[in-house]
Structure 1
């Protein structure tokens, strides 16, 4: 039993480190060669968040066991695809626009740590289920996404050695401009 307590304590400590000081944490992770932990964290947090989301649907529909498990799998698969696409775009922008030096594999792994703020999403779903606080839950989700972008930007900054401003543009700025441009082109051709 103490082994399980130790694992949970270490996980909580590491999660807090990523949330409070992502730059220092990523430097330590890279020094120790523990980049894979980013993917493990991402998979765990997405599965747990999906399970919680399935719990909300189960509470509404009354089908208890099917939705949480299905949502955990679906959310995890979709989130992993999103992470890979987000990391590829961020990596390409960091390397070709800002002359970054990192690898795509490590970019994906380190950006996996951007799931650390998902703890706020889990808390938001819990407050929605237990108390029914729609506004508070929505605000927690907004904070979660902002924090995830900051952690993703820090990951790209550390991996590619391009500074936070350029990494922020790699993670959010340039991809947002591309998406807006594509939407405008689609609108023109309709």
Structure 2
């Protein structure tokens, strides 16, 4: 029971004050919890989406389980790619001091706002509030980027601005340029 209470306190700490909470995580050497959090919340969010689809179509229990597995696999691949791009930019462009493994583990804590996504799906299912649920998802994604930036800042011992550029701005520019190049071809 004490571990659950500590986990809940740590989750709220990551949501409320990411840099402070992630610095403490780094000091304690419990970065692996970021991966566990990311995988658990991704699978749970996938299960919720599958449950929503199952309820709408009358499909059955296998749909939520399938969505949980797909959500788990796809989100883990996305986390690896995102952490790799962020690590390369932080290490090469901004001369950060962190490792890829550390970046991956710390960026796992960016899943903390997925709790908002779960709440958004609950309000959509129970109350049918499409607009409110959509706005909660937007806030969830913005908050996720902010926590990921704090994770890169802590791992690579750099300022928050450079970490934000590593996590969001420069990858967005690269992806946009690649899409433009693909459109020309």
Q: TM-score, normalised by structure 2?
A: 0.98
1:100 aligns with 2:113: no
Number of equivalenced pairs? 185
How many Å apart are 1:160 and its aligned residue?
A: 0.5
Q: Aligned pair 1:160/2:156, yes or no?
A: yes
Gaps of 5+ in 1: none
In the alignment, what sits opposite 2:39?
43
Helix, strand or coil for the counterpart of 1:99? coil
Q: CA–CA distance in 1 between the matches of 2:124 and 2:64?
A: 16
Q: Look up the SS of the partner of 1:23 in the other structure.
A: helix
User: 3-state DSSP class of the match of 2:146?
Assistant: helix
Q: Structure 2 CA distance, aligned partners of 1:176 and 1:129? A: 32
- Other structure's SS at 2:60 match: coil
Deviation, 1:108, is: 0.2
Partner of 2:61: 65
RMSD of aligned Cα (Å): 0.9
Q: Runs in 1 of length 4+ with deviation above 6 angstroms?
A: none
- Offset of residue 9 of structure 1: 2.5
Aligned equivalents of 1:97, 1:7: Cα separation in 2: 39
Query: Is 2:77 aligned against 1:81?
Result: yes
TM-score (norm: length of structure 1): 0.95
Deviation at 1:7, TM superposition (A): 4.0
